[in-house]
Structure 1
Amino acid sequence: MPQRGNRRELLAEAAIEVLAREGGRGLTHRAIDREAEVPEGTTKNYYPTRSALFLAVARYIAAEHTAALRELRSQIPVGLSGEDITALYAAMLRRMGTSARSRFLALFELHLEAVRNPGVRDALGDITQANVDTAVELHAAVGRRMSRRGAGLLDAGMLGVALSMLSLPDDLVEELGFDDADGLARALLSLGSVRDEAAVGVLRGWAG
Structure 2
Amino acid sequence: MRQNQARRTALLDAAIEVLAQEGSRGLTLRAVDATAEVPKGTTTNYFANRAELLTQVMGRIQERLTPDKTELATTMRQKPSRELVATLLQGTLERMRADRSSHLALLELRLEATRRPELHAELTRFFTAQLEGNIAFHLDAGLPGERTDVVLLYLAMLGMIVDDLTVPELLAPFEVDQLIEALANRVLA
Same fold per superposition (TM over 0.5): yes
- The one-letter amino acid paired with 1:184 is L
Determine what percentage of the aligned residue pairs are the same residue: 36
Q: 1:130 to 1:105 in 2, by over 3 A?
A: same
* 2:181 paired with 1:182: no
For 2:69 and 2:146, the matched residues in 1 are separated by 18
- Which residue in 2 is equivalent to 1:131? 134
For 2:158 and 2:69, the matched residues in 1 are separated by 16
- Which residue in 2 is equivalent to 1:205? none
Number of aligned residue pairs: 182
Q: 1:99 to 1:192 in 2, by over 3 A?
A: same
Provide structure 1 residue ranges, at least 5 long, that are not aligned to the other structure. Answer: 195-208
- The one-letter amino acid paired with 1:151 is V
Alignment deviations for residues 146-189 of structure 1 (CA, whole Å, 9 cap, x no partner): 1112101111211111101111262x3324x2xx2212212332
- Which residue in 2 is equivalent to 1:105? 104
Provide structure 2 residue ranges, at least 5 long, that are not aligned to the other structure. Answer: none
RMSD of aligned alpha carbons: 2.9
Alignment deviations for residues 52-80 of structure 1 (CA, whole Å, 9 cap, x no partner): 22111012223554685799479831545
Q: TM-score, normalised by structure 2?
A: 0.80
- The one-letter amino acid paired with 2:42 is T
Alignment deviations for residues 182-206 of structure 1 (CA, whole Å, 9 cap, x no partner): 1221233235426xxxxxxxxxxxx
Q: TM-score, normalised by structure 1?
A: 0.74
Which gives a bigger RCO, structure 1 or 2 (Cα 8 Å, sep 6+)?
Answer: 2
For 2:69 and 2:135, the matched residues in 1 are separated by 10
SS state at 2:38 partner: coil
State the 4+ residue runs in structure 1 displaced beyond 4 angstroms. Answer: 63-71
